[in-house]
Structure 1
Amino acid sequence: MARKARIAALAASFTLTLCADAWSADIAQPLPARKPTLIRNAYVMTMDPALGDVPAGDVLVGDGRIMAVGKNLQAPPNADIVDGSHAVVMPGLVETHWHMWNTLVRGMEGDRTGHGYFDVVHKKAGPQFTPDDEYLGVMISGAEAINSGTTFVHDWSHNLRSSDHARAGLKALKDLGIRGRFSYGYFTTIEPDKVSNLDDIAAVKQRWNEFSPEGLLDLGMAVRGPLPGVPKEVVDQEFGAAQKLGLPITVHVNQIARNKDMVQKLCDAKLLRKEVLLIHAMLLSDAEYDCIVGSGAAVSLSPVSEMRVGYGFPRTNELLKRRIPVGLSVDTASITGNGSMFDVMRATQNAASGLLQDEFALPARRLLELATIGGAKAIGMDDRIGSLTPGKRADLILVDLRGYHMMPLTDVANLLVQSTQPADVKLVMVDGRMLKSNGEVGGVNRQALAEAAARRNEEIMRQEMADRVQKKQP
């Protein structure tokens, strides 16, 4: 009864806290209304095997969903008409694991021992974060995602130092109008034997419709899992809470030698299931691969960060050979530099070719699948997004093919994977609403966001430098 009372009290304070932030009034802008839209005469890449590609095709959008795909479609009288000549229309990109909060400290990590990502971002910057910082980090990440063609983000939020931090991150996602999953996690310096804030997770779940009144967001849990030093009781309690609340769960596994047996531990404890998304999963035994296959769990790969931080090469082809659902992710723009999923596709292709010494290890079309319908399957949303199938939600992008770096127009799939830059993405639609048009992201005051972010980044860096001086570090 005491726990139910705590959850009820947290839920009761939910709406008040949701609106009590310092930045959003200046940064968040009204989102445009949904309108029927007909995109005409584009190269339509549906990512639906039954529909295939439709050269010189049309896409009709209405009521937030894909109404029709074909040639010479008729537009309703009140529809906006978009000329898709010299462009590709395809599903919006699906990102499956991103620590969006720490984009606020992009580039802060150094290039020598003691000043790397985990030292600077997790141990030094993370503890300084306020709820307003959480909001800023998620807003920057989400705006960058939209700008580069990503329509779904998985905010793997692991610096939640209070209930207000969680609410600030969720408010940013809501303000952006992007589709996504908020996986409520722990915080970067939590002690191994401490359990995540399960009461607040339950309170957030209880009032979820207030965060996502249009159904664009869903809730998940981000956990540490059986890391060395984390007691089994903590692992069981967190996994059990997720299952009781009906939440999908994600966990980093098997990326370095000291935790290379995490999947086996999860398997032995019977904690793997279809609703579990495994992050990295680079050092797997045959038995662990078999366990993942048997459980129906999926894997999210982030090749740019995995190579940059020294984990090695993702085992993309091995996972695909075993028909394990695979999605692609940014992971953390504070070390990868940017949040472009086109860059992630390129890195995935190059890493596979380098690892297998095979130029043709991962064809471009397969990469596009992983970044759209494959990612949607990995997060359990392929019934709603990931392809331009009539009836699905209207999450799509238009990529202009007229840039110098796209000339000459040859194989469309190869050009999309190898050459696309964020500036080529001219239109981004989520649930039938234009979030980027004419090359500009709506819903965000760019100047106000930049000024607020620069101010807080400078303060965080100043404190980090003061700590170095106090500790007599170089």
Structure 2
Amino acid sequence: MTKTLIKGGQILSMDDGLGSFTGDVLIEDDRIAALGPQIEAEDAEVIDADGRIVLPGFVNAHLHTWQGAIRAIAADWPSGGYFKHVHAGISPHYTPEDTYIGTLVGALSQIEAGTTTLFDWCHNNATPAHTDAAIDALEEAGLRAVFGHGTVKPEPKPGEPHFSTIPHPVAEIDRLRKGRLHDDAALVTLAACILGPDYSGIEVCRHDFRMARDYDLLSSSHIWGLNRLVADGYMTIAREGLLGPDHNIVHANYIGDEELRVILDHGATVTSTPPVELGPHPVEPLVSRILRMGGRPSIGPDTEVDLTGGMLDTMRASLMGARLYNTKHADGLLAEEDVKERKVGVPTARVTEPPVASIEALKWATIDNARALRLDHRIGSLTPGKQADLLIIGRHSLAMMGTVDPAQTVVHFAQNADIDLVMIAGQIRKSGGRVHGVDMTRIAQEQAASAKRLFAAYPISI
């Protein structure tokens, strides 16, 4: 048995029973053995965390990791550009090798940014070879991942059926579930990313929801609430007994409160991606709506073609959205003596009660995201018996000097470079500012070659 003792850190356990305190974490093999103000373990390797922050690894609840090799192309596109240029334009030219390198770059960058568990929502797997390439990359990267087997959505050629009428391929789910992703205790496990009631009719929904349940898999669907193929969406899915805690909804910005309440009452989880949603969809993200209903949201970045996929930035955007829509204000007028440079009568709104707390964003990015992936019994908090997935964040940079409250420090000040250590299942995957076991020269060459070929096949003016 190998033992590691992390000494003297400011611990944010994300476990309501343990709370936050200064102390030690004992790790035995791949599990957390104990937490306390002072732990003695003479035979353990000691990591000095004095003055540093120790917390669970971030859980990224929604990322299309295959896009990791074609970043920073879509930030200035209007609504619809992503579907036109990425899905209809670039995606059909992806080879399995492109899927592999994009996923590898994306997965390794997640580790660098403190993510220890990733929901890889893969919907660019036109063939089994594409699927296997994505899984190869996740396993090579060494992070914990839920591989979400999705389907491509091509424009049909004459005589071909529309993708919305095609049930999820059971043969592929069967192959993966009985093959390389059969073990639910492994680092990489399986989920079914199905079309759902926005992108398929009720017959396909019935097939897909039942298929996922038959294989005891989490299912997940993209939902907006616009142009729906099942007119009342999850109201029908719930009535037919298909909706439950084994389902995850992503986005859903335009659904009504009644439908959202039904979703939450049935135990399904909702993942909001405010960094992306607030661009082409400047409406209230579901983070704040779920909070008002007494639920717990989960969060993710969604796509890296237009923004970074790191959870630090995702937390900040999500918290800002929640505060904007979920904080009580006093609407009124600025008095002249309050702001001398302005005229009396300028309308304003002032926050009069404490906003959504910073530590809430940390909960979304750890234990709440773990719950959305049905993994909260294994990860998401520093709880004895759970997997040793954790971060140590330093305060030695100029950006971090002088920070006081640890939760506020992580959410509002920390950068990727401040993440001193990333541990996954008891194995150190990042330390000294570098992700371990990465051949940067080889990866950079393969990424550049992939991007060059893809953009030659589908030129984009940036």
Which TM-score tier does this pair reach, normalised by the shorter chain? 0.7 to 0.9
Q: Equivalent residue for 1:159? A: 124
CA-to-partner distance for each residue in 1:312-335, whole Å, 9 max, x for gaps? Answer: 331323212323342111211112
| 8 Å Cα contact 2:146-2:189 kept in structure 1 | yes
SS at match of 1:97: strand
The more displaced of 446-455 and 277-286 is 277-286
1:132 aligns with 2:89: no
Q: Equivalent residue for 2:139? A: 174
Equivalents in 2 of 1:457, 1:276: separation in Å?
A: 34
Equivalents in 2 of 1:43, 1:110: separation in Å?
A: 37
Matches within 5 A, 1:307-326: 307-310=278-281, 312-326=283-297
| 8 Å Cα contact 1:68-1:390 kept in structure 2 | yes
Equivalents in 1 of 2:108, 2:210: separation in Å?
A: 34
The more displaced of 358-367 and 425-434 is 358-367
1:97 aligns with 2:67: no
Equivalents in 2 of 1:126, 1:272: separation in Å?
A: 31
Give the aligned residue type for 2:164: P
TM-fit CA distance, 1:115: 8.1
What is the alpha-carbon root mean square deviation over aligned residues?
A: 2.2
1:253–1:269 distance in 2 versus 1, CA, 3 Å: farther
CA-to-partner distance for each residue in 1:196-249, whole Å, 9 max, x for gaps? Answer: 322011111011357x69611221100111225x33222211112111111110
Give the aligned residue type for 1:342: L
1:95–1:110 distance in 2 versus 1, CA, 3 Å: closer
Q: Equivalent residue for 2:215? A: 245
Give the aligned residue type for 1:242: A
1:377–1:213 distance in 2 versus 1, CA, 3 Å: closer
1:283 aligns with 2:245: no
Equivalents in 1 of 2:404, 2:75: separation in Å?
A: 41
Which residues of structure 1 form unaligned runs of 5+?
A: 1-33
Q: Equivalent residue for 2:150? A: 185
TM-fit CA distance, 1:354: 2.2
Equivalents in 1 of 2:129, 2:89: separation in Å?
A: 20
1:418–1:113 distance in 2 versus 1, CA, 3 Å: closer
1:389–1:250 distance in 2 versus 1, CA, 3 Å: same
Matches within 5 A, 1:230-241: 230-241=200-211
TM-fit CA distance, 1:283: 2.2
Matches within 5 A, 1:381-420: 381-420=375-414
| 8 Å Cα contact 1:221-1:247 kept in structure 2 | yes
Equivalents in 2 of 1:181, 1:325: separation in Å?
A: 20
TM-fit CA distance, 1:406: 1.9
| 8 Å Cα contact 1:293-1:323 kept in structure 2 | no
SS at match of 2:458: helix
1:454 aligns with 2:430: no
1:109–1:289 distance in 2 versus 1, CA, 3 Å: closer
Give the aligned residue type for 2:283: G
Give the aligned residue type for 1:141: G
TM-fit CA distance, 1:266: 2.4
- Residue number among 192, 202, 213 corresponding to 1:221 in the alignment: 192
Q: Equivalent residue for 2:342? A: none
| 8 Å Cα contact 1:292-1:324 kept in structure 2 | no
TM-fit CA distance, 1:169: 0.8
Equivalents in 1 of 2:185, 2:235: separation in Å?
A: 39
Q: TM-score when scaled to structure 2? A: 0.88
Aligned identity (percent) is 30
| 8 Å Cα contact 2:220-2:249 kept in structure 1 | yes
Equivalents in 2 of 1:116, 1:195: separation in Å?
A: 27
| 8 Å Cα contact 2:31-2:384 kept in structure 1 | yes
Q: What stretches of structure 1 move > 6 A for 4+ residues in a row? A: none
TM-fit CA distance, 1:290: 2.5
CA-to-partner distance for each residue in 1:374-422, whole Å, 9 max, x for gaps? Answer: 1111221111111111111100000012221223122211111111111
1:38 aligns with 2:5: yes
Equivalents in 2 of 1:132, 1:294: separation in Å?
A: 42
Q: Equivalent residue for 1:51? A: 18
Which residues of structure 2 form unaligned runs of 5+?
A: 156-162, 329-350
SS at match of 2:197: coil
Q: Say how many residue pairs are matched.
A: 430
TM-fit CA distance, 1:188: 3.3
- Residue number among 172, 179, 190 corresponding to 1:207 in the alignment: 179
TM-fit CA distance, 1:459: 1.1
TM-fit CA distance, 1:436: 0.6
| 8 Å Cα contact 1:256-1:311 kept in structure 2 | no
Equivalents in 1 of 2:234, 2:51: separation in Å?
A: 46
- Residue number among 350, 353, 373 corresponding to 2:323 in the alignment: 353
Give the aligned residue type for 2:61: T
TM-fit CA distance, 1:106: 1.1
| 8 Å Cα contact 1:428-1:435 kept in structure 2 | yes
1:299–1:113 distance in 2 versus 1, CA, 3 Å: closer
